[in-house]
A and B are shown apart, each in its own frame.
Chain A
Amino acid sequence: GIQVEQSPPDLILQEGANSTLRCNFSDSVNNLQWFHQNPWGQLINLFYIPSGTKQNGRLSATTVATERYSLLYISSSQTTDSGVYFCAGPSYNNNDMRFGAGTRLTVKP
């Protein structure tokens, strides 16, 4: 199966700062998704982004499928952005959804 690497593993920001999270895949993927796991354990869909760029408020994501990576941008971070961010996707050949280890984001007031 494919390998998913996320960086950085941990990120500490001051409220109002911007950040970029990266996700690399070892093989071509489709149906790439970004999730936010809040401190209560809930997994929240952020983006479904097989390719291209999408924006939702202060968050945006870009996937370059041909180069096997995706980026998540968080602008003007808020304390409520804290939590773990995961990227995930299945390979083209099967439905085995692989998650990265996540980026743990802490936003300090």
Chain B
Amino acid sequence: DSGVTQTPKHLITATGQRVTLRCSPRSGDLSVYWYQQSLDQGLQFLIQYYNGEERAKGNILERFSAQQFPDLHSELNLSSLELGDSALYFCASSVRVKGEQFFGPGTRLTVL
């Protein structure tokens, strides 16, 4: 157990819908990262927050947004969902802006 928690574990929804994925970092970690793992794209970095502020942006679509709250948990919002958004979404956390990352168990999103 890495200490990073993610909810829900599984999510099944329909095209066009909006969902929110939640992540709680390890105790003491200030940085939160979001990743998407799909069969055709592999593991891709989406976005990073550090102590509430966005610090790095990767291949995140405009339909996706994220934020980190004062209690340091983070949410990833996915809207206007498409079939291709079906993937495993991971959250990771680290103590510093750059540092060893620890991954949560992931949320498996299925868009039908």
Q: Which residues of A contact B (CB under 8 A)?
A: 30-31, 33, 35, 41-43, 45, 48, 86, 88, 90, 94-99, 101-102
Query: Are B100 and A33 touching (Cβ within 8 A)?
Result: yes
**Which residue of chain B lies nearest to A32 when distances are taken between CB atoms in the complex?**
B100
Which chain A positions have C-beta within 8 A of B43? 86, 88, 99, 102
Report the tally of A-B residue pairs with Cβ distances under 8 A: 52
Partner of A35, one of B33, B55, B103, B105: B103
* Interface size, chain B (Cβ < 8 Å): 24
B42 at the interface (CB under 8 A from A): yes
A73–B104 CA distance with the chains assembled, in angstroms? 25
Query: Are B56 and A96 touching (Cβ within 8 A)?
Result: yes
Query: Are B102 and A95 touching (Cβ within 8 A)?
Result: no
Q: Separation in Å of the B94 CB from the closest CB of chain A?
A: 9
Query: Are B103 and A94 touching (Cβ within 8 A)?
Result: no
B97 at the interface (CB under 8 A from A): yes
Q: Separation in Å of the B41 CB from the closest CB of chain A?
A: 10
